[in-house]
Amino acid sequence: MRRLEGKVALVTGGSSGMGLASALLFKEHGARLAITGREPATLDAAAARLGQDVLAVRSDAASLADIDGLMAAVGERYGRLDVLFINAGVAHAAPIESVSEADFDAQLGINLKGAFFTIQKALPLMRSGASIILTTSITNQLGSPNFSVYGASKAGLRSLVKSLALELIGRGIRVNAISPGPIATPMFDRLGLPEALAEAKKAAIADKSPSKRFGAAAEIASCALFLASSESSYIVGEEIVVDGGMSLL
């Protein structure tokens, strides 16, 4: 059964990792798609994988002007939005002494402010029955040394999900989140760590995990499909943890 037949879905950060895996699955289930990212080459490669009818928009989640342009493009192409998956995010590893104001603002700007204004600016396109999904992280509840700013940005999202879920459910719009544990995506190569240290960190994480492995992007995509579809119609303001048991430790 195709679970998103005819629905219009926007996946921010849909050019890579779990966003791309979700976009591919949404498409397989009949969704008409828009994706975003900043890197033109990555965005073009993702659009090529997804097929010609996909709307790929270069849009920086931290820029309100870009978000306006994105919603205008989605409105012009599709006229409405049924599924909004706010997944674009960045993580920079740094001990407290090394965090600059610019880096703090950049992470909060993309991960938290960008998410808030993407929802605000998408609302005119959304009707009763629509679903908003945010990607948080298990770091929003666990202590995570050297990821304090990232964890705080994702904790902010956790709070947004609850407040906006209550604010929007009266219009029939559900807001929920997926909280991933370690997932094998290009993000781990973008943490700003030297390669050897990044590899050592990955091995230590896999070893610590009760599942003894990283999750796959497809394992996040199947949760996103569930939250996007009417199968989750009575789930409101929830954050579903997909982490192989990591946060139970």
Ligand X SMILES: NC(=O)c1ccc[n+]([C@@H]2O[C@H](COP(=O)([O-])OP(=O)(O)OC[C@H]3O[C@@H](n4cnc5c(N)ncnc54)[C@H](OP(=O)(O)O)[C@@H]3O)[C@@H](O)[C@H]2O)c1
* Interacting residues with ligand X (CB under 6 A): 12-13, 15-19, 36-39, 42, 59-62, 87-91, 110, 135, 137, 180, 182-183, 185-187, 190
- Closer residue to ligand X in complex, CB, 2/208: 208
Q: Which of 57, 128 has the CB closer to ligand X? A: 57
Residues 6+ apart with CB under 8 A from 70: 10, 34, 36, 57, 59, 118, 121
Nearest CA among 227, 234, 233, 238 for reference residue 84: 227
Nearer to ligand X, 6 or 100 (CB): 100
Taking the complex as a whole, how short is the minimal distance between the CB of residue 60 and ligand X, in angstroms? Answer: 4
Assign 81 to helix, strand or coil: strand
Which residue is catalytic, options 150, 151, 214, 246?
A: 150
Q: How crowded is the C-beta side of 168, counted as CA atoms within 13 Å? A: 25
Rounded Cα–Cα distance for residues 131 and 155 (Å)? 21
Q: Verify whether residue 150 is a known catalytic residue.
A: yes
- The DSSP output letter for 235 is -
Residues noted as catalytic: 150
